[in-house]
């Protein structure tokens, strides 16, 4: 009964968020099937060493920590728009590519198909309210740049605007489109990456601690900060190699 | 001259890392073109308000903070393997899907094509050495589960193993494959998400602070921790909406 009540409460909360956020990246919340609150018996096979407690099944839902990427695009009249996407990541090294997945209902969807280009704009934690806002209203109804006062800069490389005030941007050329279901995947080739000097190391690399970025936790509508340095990968791997 | 020296040093470091990591997800480092160390004049257009300093062009490189996903798979003989992937993310809500991109040279590439399935295993910071190790050696040469002592658990839902000791796992069925260049993208439908009770909220949602996860910074070979709570998205967006 407790579980059922939780799900009802959760449903109501998600419903309110959806009402609040409208045509939003938070609408992705609606896609989560309710968790099947059962424990898994996978560990109970006598052929396997049982070292840990069984895991709990949470159902088929995409609820992993995800990036907060603000996508810049122009509409057919050249009006700039920005929307927040979390279904996103790097997907190739040569050519360097990113993938972003958008619902057809978004204004950005049509813009990218029209202009074959977009930018990825990475906000700093002091800009979290903008990222939340860009994900909560649609460019179909609102000129989001006018509303926020942020500056759209026309890229010299692709037909899309980037956000002057955001510290890190990618300029991308659309190279593939893939229908997946609720979302359409756009694959963009990175033509250039640009950054504010303030977030670079003395050698010109990205300094994550200066970027002060953050990520999105789907299902709970929350942003979390990026944290501190954990370790260099080479010596971490060496720990296991030399243990053998 | 200073810039040139830096690039030579950087090249040597990357070379050493590649030698060290062999057939590794760190080999993705090799894909980074060297930065073109020029400032961008995009802001200098008289039609645009100049509010910030010009950005520095870093070249066409995929160097954004990225997830650390350990991919579980079986080879044709049913032997489990694990490799670390950072070119990855959620890509659809309905059906819930993830995308991972792998080089053809990896053992996991053939395994996924053979079994049409994989798991995504999310490590906690105490398991960072395993994630580094899984990304630094190939399953073609080494039985990584024997080498680490970690436990591969046969999924009841897909033909792939997940890692018992890792706190969060997704079981995925391959639904699409896409050639992109250096990397092949695999799109997997999430059939179930499973988690240790210790990383859940009292209501059964994912508690990022209990997960103690971490992310990868490409180009610098470093892991960074996930940090603390920044804010709820709805009230953050409201700040901008009510400012108008």
User: What is the torsional sign of CA A44, B69, A31, B94?
Assistant: negative
Mean pLDDT computed over B111-125: 98
Lowest mean pLDDT among A30-34, B171-175, B233-237: A30-34
Tell me which of B242 and A103 has the higher pLDDT: A103
Per DSSP, helices labelled H in A31-185 are 107-115, 128-134, 144-148
Selected residue with higher pLDDT from A8 and B54 = B54
Collapsed DSSP state (helix, strand, coil) of residue B55 = coil
Contacts B244 to A, Cβ<8 Å: 147
- CA-based nearest residue to A180, from B190, B9, B134: B190
List the one residue out of B206, B92, B56, B8 whose CA is nearest residue A178.
B92
**Among A28, A92, A229, whose Cβ lies nearest the Cβ of B181?**
A92
Q: Are A61 and A102 in contact (CB under 8 A)?
A: no
**Number of A:B CB contacts under 8 A?**
418
Cα A228 from chain centre: 20
Q: For the residues B197-205, what does the mean pLDDT come to?
A: 93
Q: Which of A85-89, A216-220, B46-50, B86-90 has the weakest average pLDDT? A: B46-50
Q: Do A234 and B221 touch (CB under 8 A)?
A: yes
Sorted by sequence, the CB contacts under 8 Å of residue A90 that are 6+ apart come out as A96, A97, A98, A99, B62, B64, B66, B86, B87, B101, B218
At A79 the pLDDT is: 98
Of B60, B62, B187, the CB nearest to A90: B62
A38 and chain B in contact, CB less than 8 A: no
CB A45 within 8 A of CB B191: no
Q: Which residue of B has its CA nearest to A203?
A: B6
Mean predicted confidence (pLDDT) in B27-37: 38
pLDDT value of position A11: 39
The most confident of the ranges A163-167, B15-19, B35-39 is A163-167
Could you give phi then psi for residue A199, rounded to 5 degrees? -110, 15
Residue B44's pLDDT is 34
Helix (H, G, I), strand (E, B) or coil at B68: coil
Q: Name the CA dihedral angle for A160, A164, A169, A175, rounded to a multiple of 10 degrees.
A: 0
Can you name the residues that pair with B195 across neighbouring β-strands?
A56, B168
Q: Six-digit token pair at A130?
A: 């903008």
Q: Which of B45-49, B127-131, B156-160 has the lowest mean pLDDT?
A: B45-49
Residue B124 and residue B166: Cα distance in Å, rounded? 7
pLDDT band with cut points at 50, 70 and 90 for residue B51? low
Furthest-apart CA atoms within chain A: distance in Å? 65
Pairwise CB contact (< 8 Å): A181 & B97? yes
Work out the angle at residue B60's Cα, subtended by the Cα atoms of residues B213 and A102, and round it to the nearest 5 degrees: 60
Which structure tokens are listed for A116?
A: 């074959």
Reported pTM: 0.84
pLDDT-derived band at B220, boundaries 50, 70, 90:
confident
Closest to B101 measured CA to CA, from B184, B189, B187 = B184
B190 interface with A at CB cutoff 8 Å: yes
Look at A60 and B191 and tell me if their CB atoms are within 8 Å: yes
Please answer yes or no on whether B42 and A228 come within 8 Å at the CB atom: no
Average pLDDT on B127-147 reads 96
- Tell if the CB–CB gap between B65 and A226 is shorter than 8 Å: yes
Banded pLDDT at B52 (limits 50, 70, 90): confident
Cis peptide leading into B95, omega within 30 of 0? yes
Give me the percent of chain B exceeding a pLDDT of 90. Answer: 75
| Contact predicate A220/A130, CB 8 Å | no
Q: Hey, how many other C-beta atoms are within 10 angstroms of the C-beta on A200?
A: 19
Give the per-residue pLDDT at A51.
Answer: 60
Q: What is the mean pLDDT of chain B?
A: 84
Chain A CB within 8 Å of residue B173 CB: no
pLDDT at residue number A53? 85
What does DSSP assign to residue B200?
B
Interface check for A15 against chain B (CB to CB < 8 A): the answer is: no
CA A81 to chain centre: 17
What per-residue confidence (pLDDT) applies to A24? Answer: 47
Is A72 at the interface with chain B, CB within 8 A? Answer: no
Between positions 93 and 152 of B, the ones with CB within 8 A of A are 93-99, 101, 120, 122, 125, 128-133, 135-137, 147-148, 151
Note whether A47 contacts B: Cβ–Cβ < 8 A: no
Mutation for A interface: B13, B46, B62, B202, most A CBs within 10 A: B62
Q: What is the DSSP string of A31-75?
A: GPPPP--EE--GGG-TTS---SPPPEEEES---S-EE-EEEEEE-
Q: Does B57 have pLDDT greater than 70?
A: yes
- Contact A195/B at CB under 8 A: yes
Which residues in chain B have their CB less than 8 angstroms from residue A3's CB? 204
ipTM: 0.84
Task: Give the pLDDT band (50/70/90) at residue B244.
Answer: low
Question: CA neighbours within 13 Å on the CB side: how many for A74?
Answer: 19
- Please give the Cα distance from A115 to A239 (Å, whole number): 49
Mean pLDDT of the region B162-174: 98
pLDDT on residue B7: 41
Q: What is the mean pLDDT of each run of 10 residues along chain A (244 residues)?
A: 42 37 41 38 40 89 96 98 98 98 98 98 98 96 96 98 98 98 98 97 92 94 96 96 78
B216-232 burial code (b ≥16 CB/10 A, e <16) = bbbbbbbbbbbbeebbe
């Amino acid at each position: 009964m407790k579980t059922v009540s939780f799900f009802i409460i959760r449903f109501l909360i998600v419903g309110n968020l959806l009402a609040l956020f409208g045509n939003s990246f938070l609408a992705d919340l609606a896609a989560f099937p309710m968790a099947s609150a059962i424990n898994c018996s996978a560990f109970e096979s006598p052929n396997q060493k049982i070292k840990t407690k069984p895991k709990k099944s949470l159902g088929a839902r995409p609820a992993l920590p995800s990036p907060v990427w603000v996508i810049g695009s122009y509409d057919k009249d050249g009006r700039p728009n920005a929307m927040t996407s979390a279904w996103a990541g790097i997907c190739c090294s040569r050519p360097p590519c990113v993938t972003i997945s958008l619902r057809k209902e978004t204004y950005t969807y049509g813009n990218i198909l029209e202009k074959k280009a977009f930018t990825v704009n990475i906000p700093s934690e002091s800009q979290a309210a903008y990222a939340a806002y860009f994900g909560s209203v649609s460019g179909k109804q609102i000129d989001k740049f006018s509303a926020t006062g942020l500056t759209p800069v026309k890229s010299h490389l692709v037909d899309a605007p980037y956000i002057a005030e955001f510290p890190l941007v990618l300029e991308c050329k659309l190279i593939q489109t893939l229908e997946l279901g609720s979302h359409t995947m756009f694959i963009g080739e990175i033509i250039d990456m640009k950054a504010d000097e303030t977030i670079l190391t003395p050698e010109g690399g990205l300094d994550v601690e200066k970027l002060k970025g953050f990520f999105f936790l789907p299902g709970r509508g929350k942003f979390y900060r990026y944290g501190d340095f954990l370790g260099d990968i080479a010596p971490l791997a060496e720990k296991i190699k030399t243990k053998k």
